[in-house]
Structure 1
Amino acid sequence: MILEMHSHTSEHSVCSRIDAVSLVQAVHNMGFEGIVLTDHHYLWMPEEMEDLRRRAGIPEYFIILAGQEVATSDAGHVLVYGAERTLSEKTPLPAIRQEFPEAAIVWAHPYRNGHKPSPEGLTNPYRDAVEIFSSNHTVVELNRGVRDWHRHKFAATGGTDAHSTANVGRYPTIFEHPVKSIGDLAAEIRAGRCRPLYKEITRSRAPHIEVVELVIGLKGANKVRENLVIKRYNRLDAWERGNRTSHILKELGRYSFHGGKFRVPRPLGSDAEELVLIEEGVRGRTLFERVLRADVEHARFYLQLAAQWLANLHNMKLQITPPDEFMETEPHRLAHYVSNSDRIDPKHARRISEITNHVLEAERVLYLHHPERMVQGHGDYHPKNLFIGQDNPDDSESSYISAVDFDDSYCMPPAFDVGTFITQFRSQFFHHRDVLKTVNEDFFLATYLQYAEDAGDDFLAQVELFKARASLSIIYFLIKIGLGDSENLWRILVEAEHSLTSLSIHESHAEFRAD
């Protein structure tokens, strides 16, 4: 059973801007099964609630109950469910418990304003549960609440603390069993048979980071649903690298990437003490999933969006990170790609080393003394790092594309992202030949060039260079997962060498034209 547990009406809470009828109707229309009115130091009487139901036109199955929020003298604010009279301000917590032993007492918004509850406070026997989700909590405080709940295993609730129509129904609580009265509600809370309504999904784990997605609230077109990506680090240097990524995302947001057709995740919070970063979750499906299931027309539309997103980024010619950082760190990255090649056939290892040396030398010639050629890029632009969705499921004009995973973003040559995408696209769809027959990387490249500004005469040659470089990263991954002797690795080696041959041909033609 799903209830709104914390709400205030303008009739009895001076801080509220929503009347009781509008509040109850809004919660009912969102699909909740009931609401608990918790005005400050005011307990609604049964006859008032019946009159409210009549005026709101709410059916009988939707329950309307009343508790109250009390500012205690010794334990902050609590929500009291089951007291039989209105409680005055500064009533001590022990006095409430003594007078109403069957009531449920919930600690309201305990993390508000940066407060860090102690384990003793969270498990105080005078209280029956803790409100860990609240519109009074920042996302950092919300994450701390979830962490403490898992760590100390106290009973928990969610409560919107609704004061206006803007945030009604944001943090529901789900009960394991139906409740019909305030006594039922109090008994279920005291037994711990309730919790905030949300999903917690571990998306990835690596040696120094765990990524968890929190999806909070009810699903549906008229529902308020919050989607958070929590990145929890266990080393300071890893957190600092993540914080660098958050800075890039924040800066991109200043250039209209936090809304509209072209997007990136919005950074929402940072907790240096806990080594946590929080960003907005991205709704939709990856470009890979979309193209795999689409007809030709829609597949081309999705690929066009991907090309437009990238051209839009490059056309801005941003330099958020230092323009010389890419070439300073590139030798280290390329050395990393060949670090595990001793685990494969020596002939293949030698070819990998030759490709790596060729790539690095070409990059030095083209970019080492030309920081003006660098623009902020994505760094790992491929179909599984792009999400496509619609703000309105019934309106295709509301489609958007969002790029994620900016950990490898530098000021880099625009051709880097293009070459990476082309190589990764072909690799990811290699076993889906039907897709490659109908929509392929050539369409992406043509679309990108249509929208890109000032690509330059040697752009296609640069793309070949970075196609070869992207092949090195794929080869490294294949060796890492034990596929160093696979036919797939041999194929990618051949494609990398072909790209470098094409690069040489482009360079020869350029020299011929110059002569």
Structure 2
Amino acid sequence: MIFSAGGAANKHNRKMLLETHAHTSRHSSCSGLGPAELVRRCAAKKLQGVIIVEHHFLWKKPELEELKRDTGMERGFVILAGQEIQTGIGHVIVIGAGETIRAGTEIGTIGKRWPAAALILAHPFRGGRLPSDALLLDRRMDAVEIFNTNQTMKENCAALAAWHRLKFTAVAGSDAHAAATAGVYPTLFDHPVSSEKEAAEEIKKGRTRPFHKEIPKAGGNVTVTEITIGTKGDDEARRRVILRTFDDEKKYLRARQAAKLAEALRASGFAEGIFRVPAVIEIQDAEKIIIEEGQRGKNLRDIAANSSTEAARRDFELAARWLARLHSADRKKILRGCGINSPSDTLERERKRLRGYLDSFAATDNPMTDDARKIISAVGDAQEILLGAGSQKTSRRREYALCHGDYHPKNIIIGQDISDDTATRFISVIDFGSALVHLPAFDVGYFLAQSENQFFGEAKILRNFVARDFIDAYIDELPAGKRAAARRELPPLADFYKARANLSIAAFLIKVGKGESPETAAAIRKSLKIIRRIVDTGAAPGIKL
């Protein structure tokens, strides 16, 4: 069987990408990966070679040459051999020794017997281990394998942090035992290599690094680093994590609360399937760091801008269904220990926010201030009733829910587990920092208002977004016993909270210097129109202008 090479290193591309840790079924009983399949997978991922690493066995040169011929890789793709040895300090990958090394051979003995060989400490964080700095900096080792598919993402992140802190030479290794992980975590060599001797020399001279990308973004007392590791796996997605580091204690505690809520939601059915929340990998209180799964896919705002009418409406309906699932979840169970409490707490927060909105208009002498004041007064009075302070009799009949609090297209990720299979499509929602206990209509109205604002001036997208369709899809996803009441009560209340959300949008636009923009004026005019319509029709009792 002949395979095409994945992209050989040449004079225009002097770096080289190699799989440096993979086991085959030919000489490692724990592996189900055939040698030819390993080569095929690595070539398909555009790697320039592979170092086959068996447990206490070293491939001979004739066998490697035969594999090259069988796979058509005599030119342009490097196939080398190393071995993984059990030592007193853990598993060590040896590249450049001339013969098979017995299990249990001490690291010092290996170094003395084969001084030109490269010794790599393999998967030192696997199984939750926390290797000492002394081990990671052991001079008998030439490099440390920081990324490995048999380490969890949390362990890989811990290894990455150790590398940044200690500055040792690092490599990555897929540790492949099956086709799905072959070539997933390769190592980048600064120069092309064609033999075990050359590969060992590059490692010993510190001219290697894991194949990954880190993109830091700083601002607002938090640094967000997006980390992408390795190549695409069988699920056609590279591993991504989001690392957030906080300088401000208050902001960290709020983010921590949101992370705890995300964990509780995943435990309540949002971990897999169509409706999801990204995983929280680790919360580090001492360092004020939160590490989260980077969700594959694109946000609904970007997808809607490039979708057909049918596809856009399908995704908007999917967003409605996710929201209905959230509102139907066991609020008290999910919120236990999350620090998000009652409608009375929400009411106090809303009072503070409304005062802040009015201050932002008045402080800038905004021409819409008088209209904003009328809307804020109407919204404030109504919420005293809706959240229980104005009429205890009315409030007892209301059914509150866990609300996202910032539900809009940019916080909604649409993706597919397999890129060409729409049956694997899913929706995942991020950013629970504004979560609160409120009426479900709060999130619905907020989404409707934010969608109109984010698509302001984009007539094509707005034609694809029909508020009534969103509400209908939301109601259809509710438990059967709640649908009739929702059909009566949700539309006018969602309309009211759409007016409330437009205040938030306008205040934000003022904050970023767009207080007199067409978007701000449109938001206030829409809110005023909604409130007047509700008052005139009596659709939502207790609301007056």
TM-score, reference length from structure 2: 0.83
8 Å contact kept, 2:39–2:71: no
Does residue 472 in structure 1 map to residue 503 in structure 2? yes
Gaps of 5+ in 2: 1-15, 336-340
CA distance, structure 2, for counterparts of residue 223 and residue 390 of structure 1: 10
Change beyond 3 A, Cα 1:346–1:30: closer
Q: Secondary structure at the match of 1:279?
A: strand
8 Å contact kept, 1:345–1:485: no
Deviation of 1:290 after TM superposition, in Å, equals: 1.9
CA distance, structure 2, for counterparts of residue 247 and residue 446 of structure 1: 31
What residue number does 2:265 align with?
252
What residue number does 1:496 align with?
527
8 Å contact kept, 1:139–1:269: no
Deviation of 1:6 after TM superposition, in Å, equals: 1.5
Matches for 1:80-91 after TM superposition, within 5 Å: 80-91=94-105
Deviation of 1:455 after TM superposition, in Å, equals: 1.0
CA distance, structure 1, for counterparts of residue 424 and residue 55 of structure 2: 41
Deviation of 1:307 after TM superposition, in Å, equals: 2.2
- Paired AA for residue 287 in structure 2: E
Listed one character per residue, the Cα deviations across residues 94-131 of structure 1 (whole Å, up to 9, x for unaligned) are 44334333222222222234444455544444332221
Q: 1:485 aligns with which of 516, 521, 526?
A: 516
Does residue 355 in structure 1 map to residue 375 in structure 2? yes
What residue number does 1:261 align with?
274
Q: Secondary structure at the match of 2:191?
A: coil
Q: Secondary structure at the match of 1:97?
A: helix
Deviation of 1:81 after TM superposition, in Å, equals: 1.2
Does residue 415 in structure 1 map to residue 441 in structure 2? yes
Change beyond 3 A, Cα 1:506–1:312: farther
Change beyond 3 A, Cα 1:450–1:505: farther
CA distance, structure 2, for counterparts of residue 34 and residue 508 of structure 1: 69
8 Å contact kept, 2:148–2:185: yes
CA distance, structure 1, for counterparts of residue 474 and residue 284 of structure 2: 38
Q: 2:293 aligns with which of 277, 280, 291?
A: 280
Listed one character per residue, the Cα deviations across residues 155-194 of structure 1 (whole Å, up to 9, x for unaligned) are 2111122334453333111223322110121122223332
Does residue 36 in structure 1 map to residue 51 in structure 2? yes
Does residue 382 in structure 1 map to residue 402 in structure 2? no
Change beyond 3 A, Cα 1:27–1:490: closer
Q: Secondary structure at the match of 1:67?
A: strand
Listed one character per residue, the Cα deviations across residues 456-482 of structure 1 (whole Å, up to 9, x for unaligned) are 533223112211221122122112212
Q: Secondary structure at the match of 2:378?
A: helix
Does residue 334 in structure 1 map to residue 347 in structure 2? no
CA distance, structure 2, for counterparts of residue 144 and residue 393 of structure 1: 30
Deviation of 1:29 after TM superposition, in Å, equals: 5.1
- Deviation larger for 404-413 or 295-304: 295-304
Q: How many residues align?
A: 508
CA distance, structure 2, for counterparts of residue 509 and residue 159 of structure 1: 61
Listed one character per residue, the Cα deviations across residues 492-515 of structure 1 (whole Å, up to 9, x for unaligned) are 22222222223323436869xxxx
- Paired AA for residue 398 in structure 1: T
8 Å contact kept, 1:72–1:91: yes
CA distance, structure 2, for counterparts of residue 133 and residue 39 of structure 1: 18
Does residue 127 in structure 1 map to residue 141 in structure 2? yes
CA distance, structure 2, for counterparts of residue 29 and residue 509 of structure 1: 61
- Paired AA for residue 47 in structure 1: P
Does residue 300 in structure 1 map to residue 313 in structure 2? yes
- Paired AA for residue 246 in structure 1: A
| Overall identity of the aligned pairs, in % | 36
Deviation of 1:18 after TM superposition, in Å, equals: 4.6
Deviation of 1:350 after TM superposition, in Å, equals: 5.2
Q: Secondary structure at the match of 1:177?
A: coil
Deviation of 1:422 after TM superposition, in Å, equals: 1.1
What residue number does 1:183 align with?
197
What residue number does 2:23 align with?
8
Change beyond 3 A, Cα 1:40–1:257: same
What residue number does 2:220 align with?
207
CA distance, structure 1, for counterparts of residue 102 and residue 213 of structure 2: 37
TM-score, reference length from structure 1: 0.87
Q: Secondary structure at the match of 1:405?
A: coil
Listed one character per residue, the Cα deviations across residues 410-466 of structure 1 (whole Å, up to 9, x for unaligned) are 232111111111111111111213433454434433443454423153322311221
Gaps of 5+ in 1: none
Change beyond 3 A, Cα 1:103–1:468: same
Deviation of 1:236 after TM superposition, in Å, equals: 4.5
CA distance, structure 2, for counterparts of residue 362 and residue 3 of structure 1: 64
Q: 1:104 aligns with which of 118, 133, 143?
A: 118
CA distance, structure 1, for counterparts of residue 157 and residue 539 of structure 2: 57
Q: Secondary structure at the match of 1:38?
A: strand
- Deviation larger for 417-426 or 318-327: 318-327
The CA RMSD over aligned residues, in Å, is 3.1
Deviation of 1:52 after TM superposition, in Å, equals: 5.0
- Deviation larger for 297-306 or 471-480: 297-306
Q: 1:147 aligns with which of 161, 185, 193?
A: 161
Q: Secondary structure at the match of 1:464?
A: helix
CA distance, structure 2, for counterparts of residue 84 and residue 59 of structure 1: 23
Change beyond 3 A, Cα 1:30–1:489: closer
CA distance, structure 1, for counterparts of residue 68 and residue 356 of structure 2: 67
CA distance, structure 2, for counterparts of residue 224 and residue 458 of structure 1: 42
- Paired AA for residue 386 in structure 1: I
